[in-house]
Structure 1
Amino acid sequence: MADNTLNKTELVAKIAASTELSQAAVGQVIDSLFATLADSVKAGTKVSIPGWLSVERTESAAREGRNPATGETIKIPAGFRVKVSAGSKLKAAAK
């Protein structure tokens, strides 16, 4: 099976080639994008890029689970999760 992944270095190189910006500049923009996403999620702010994606923090209630190794019941505390939703343009690109 072929490796169908695009890592950050390859992404930066592709964007730099298509925009004629330096790889350093593109790398800084991508780092800033993810830092902004992280800060927004931490603050509970939903980030939406219409047609492409949305990222938001959601609450999860406390619940009981099972330890898969022992079968013992464990308590999973309430907490937060990150929900990432694909927009229409991203979904259409996957078809």
Structure 2
Amino acid sequence: MAKPMTKTELVTQLSEEMGTDKKTASTALDAITKVITDAVSAGGAVTLPGVGKIYCRERPERMVRNPATGEQIKKDADKVVKMTIAKALKDSVNG
């Protein structure tokens, strides 16, 4: 498995694709991250064309098991962020 791209590497590649400096690319990346975070935190969803859909899903209260002791514990309801990958991205990876 390839090593994940760091933010610095992402900003460098983004600046090259945009034809701008790294500061502008970093500002754009931070703005996109903030917009996605705000939308998903509010219970909405964000679709990134060609990449996928990021959304928040509520999980109900449930019983879980402590693997060390085997004890059953009641876990409160919570929310989890999910991402559905776009077919175009899947196809580009597999084909």
Question: Is the pair's TM-score, using the shorter chain for normalization, greater than 0.5?
Answer: yes
Consecutive unaligned residues of structure 2, counting only runs of 5 or more, are: none
Cα distance in 2 for residues equivalent to 1:30 and 1:66: 39
Give the superposition deviation at 1:77.
0.6
Consecutive unaligned residues of structure 1, counting only runs of 5 or more, are: none
Cα distance in 2 for residues equivalent to 1:49 and 1:19: 17
Q: Which amino acid aligns with 1:27?
A: S
1:89 paired to 2:95: no
Q: CA RMSD in A?
A: 1.4
User: Which deviates further from its counterpart, 23-32 or 48-57?
Assistant: 48-57
Aligned counterpart, 1:45: 44
51 and 28 in structure 1: CA distance in 2 versus 1, 3 angstrom threshold: same
Tell me which stretches of 4 or more aligned residues in structure 1 moved more than 6 Å. none
State, as a whole percentage, how many aligned pairs show the same letter: 31
Aligned counterpart, 1:77: 76
Aligned counterpart, 2:29: 30
Q: Give secondary structure in 2 for the equivalent of 1:58.
A: strand
